[in-house]
Amino acid sequence: MPIEDLVRDVQDYGDRRCIGEDPLATEVAGLSVAMRRRATDIYPVLYQPIFCLVLQGVKQTWLGDQAVDFGPQQSLVVGLDLPTHARVLKADASRPYIALALEVDMALVHELLTEIEPHGRAGQPSGAIGVAEADAEVVDAMGRLFRLTGKPDAAPVLSPLIRKEIHFWLLKARHGQILRQLAERDSHASRIALAARLIRRSYASSLSIEDLAGEAGMSVSAFHAHFKAVTGSTPLNYQKQLRLMEARRLIAAERLSVASAAFQVGYESASQFSREYSRYFGHSPRQDMGAGVLSVAG
């Protein structure tokens, strides 16, 4: 399928379903469509392991202080849960930002890697975000996966095969390096991913850097260095961003009071919470009350 036809079909799909600001899950498991009809201000986003193929428009995200731009026929790989910020740089009503996003299955990545590189080749961890021109094979496979949205009988049978093909090509791609490192047993990146999962699982609890470093099998100094290399953040700041994003969800979507949300995510002081919330989101928590805002990748 020519890329122009895929762009048209995905836009028609989004228009028919009145897609809003959040990505729209399709009938194919793990596949979603993102569309934005205007450029946006910077907004917080919590990426989960994901592969994003941009078809039209330009978007920007960050790994720490490093801005990462990705545009038409480029692909973005995020290898682990990552709280950060993003914005759409180029989009309008006639040519919206359009992207296809596929959840990355780390179990499948590990399975494939044992076939491709049975002996592994662990090295220094790369950042959790990678961007590159999309290979023709990946564009073709994503197009075939998207076309299954109109074939409900075929989708359950064929989509697992195409998803496996896409994961194979990602592992072969240069910017799939983070996936290879995460899947390698006992690599620095996989240890940092373990620590990140522990932080997310217990984000409301007090954080012991010494305990996390011990779980990762590293000294405290090495743990700090590798954690920042992968996530672009320190462990404490990573935890704080997770807390603030969850608090925003509680306030906006579940209509909790500011104080209740603050205490539920681990803050002992509501005033400190309000200060950090305002600094991170650019407005007070009360402005989000009942707004239905969710921190999602899109």
pTM of the model: 0.89
Claim to verify: residue 76 and residue 176 sit in the same structural domain: yes
Same domain? 12 vs 93: yes
177 close to 130: Cβ distance less than 8 angstroms: yes
Report yes or no on 58 lying in a domain: yes
Please say which residue of 181, 216, 248 terminates a domain.
Answer: 181
Bridge partners, 133 (sequence order): 74
Return the amino acid letter for 72.
Answer: P
* Residue 138, CA distances (Å) to 76, 146, 171, 289 in order: 12, 12, 11, 41
Asked if 37 and 96 count as a contact pair (C-beta separation under 8 A), the reply is yes
99 and 244 housed in the same domain? no
Give the pLDDT score at 2: 79
- Asked if 33 and 154 sit in the same domain, the reply is yes
* CATH code for the domain in which residue 259 is found: 1.10.10.60
Looking at the fold, whether 120 and 265 belong to one and the same domain comes out as: no
- CATH number, domain containing residue 146: 2.60.120.10
Q: Tell me the helices (H) and strands (E) count for the chain, helix number first.
A: 11, 10
pLDDT of 295 above 50: no
Q: What percent of the chain has pLDDT over 70?
A: 94
Beta bridge partners of 77: 51, 130
Rounded to an integer, what distance in angstroms lies between the CA atom of residue 154 and that of residue 265?
Answer: 43
**Looking at the chain, how many residues does it have?**
298
CA distance 39 to 123: 38
Cα–Cα distance measured from residue 104 to residue 108, given in angstroms and rounded to the nearest whole number: 8
Of the three residues 181, 202, 218, the one that is the final residue of a domain is 181
Q: Is the pLDDT of residue 263 over 90?
A: yes
Residue 123's pLDDT is what?
A: 52
Which of the pair, 55 or 173, is modelled with greater confidence?
A: 55
Q: Stretch 143-158: mean pLDDT, rounded? A: 97
* Residue 162 shares a structural domain with residue 252: no
Give the up-direction half-sphere exposure of residue 191: CA atoms within 13 A in the CB hemisphere: 23
Q: How confident is the model at residue 158 (pLDDT cuts 50, 70, 90)?
A: very high
Please state the domain count of the chain.
Answer: 2
- Mark whether 13 and 124 lie in a shared domain: yes
Q: What band does 297 get if pLDDT is binned at 50, 70 and 90?
A: low
According to the model, what pLDDT value does residue 126 have?
Answer: 75
Asked if residue 164 and residue 243 are part of one domain, the reply reads no
pLDDT at 259: 95
The pLDDT value given to residue 175: 85
Is the per-residue pLDDT at 270 higher than 60?
A: yes
76 in a domain, yes or no? yes
In a domain? residue 225: no
Question: Do 245 and 153 share a structural domain?
Answer: no
Rounded-to-integer distance, Cα 101 and Cα 297, Å = 9
In a domain, 209, yes or no: no
Which of these, 180, 205, 202, 164, lies nearest to 119 by C-alpha position?
180
Looking at the domain assignment, is residue 214 inside a domain? Answer: no
Handedness of CA 4, 10, 12, 15 (dihedral sign): negative
Within a domain: 198: no
DSSP 135: P
Identify the three-state secondary structure at position 273.
helix
Which of 52, 134, 57, 132 is CA-nearest to residue 88? 57
What does the alpha-carbon distance between residue 46 and residue 296 come to, in Å, rounded to a whole number?
5
> What is the mean pLDDT of the segment spanning 69-86?
94
Q: What range does the domain containing 245 cover?
A: 237-288
pLDDT-wise least confident of 84-98, 103-117, 158-172, 217-231 = 103-117
pLDDT higher for 132 or 1?
132
Residues 123 and 44 in one domain: yes
| Residue 196 domain flag | no
For residues 59 and 176, membership in a common domain is answered with: yes
118 pLDDT higher than 90: no
Q: What is the mean pLDDT of the chain?
A: 91
Is 75 a member of any domain?
yes
Q: Record the tokens describing residue 165, joined without a space.
A: 């093909």
Report which of 53, 76, 46 is spatially closest to residue 3, judged by C-alpha positions: 53
3-state secondary structure (DSSP) of residue 45: strand
The average pLDDT across 145-172 equals 96
| pLDDT greater than 90 at residue 117 | no
- Boundary (domain end) residue, out of 181, 199, 224: 181
* Same-domain status, 33 and 176: yes
Other CB atoms within 10 Å distance of the CB of residue 42: 12
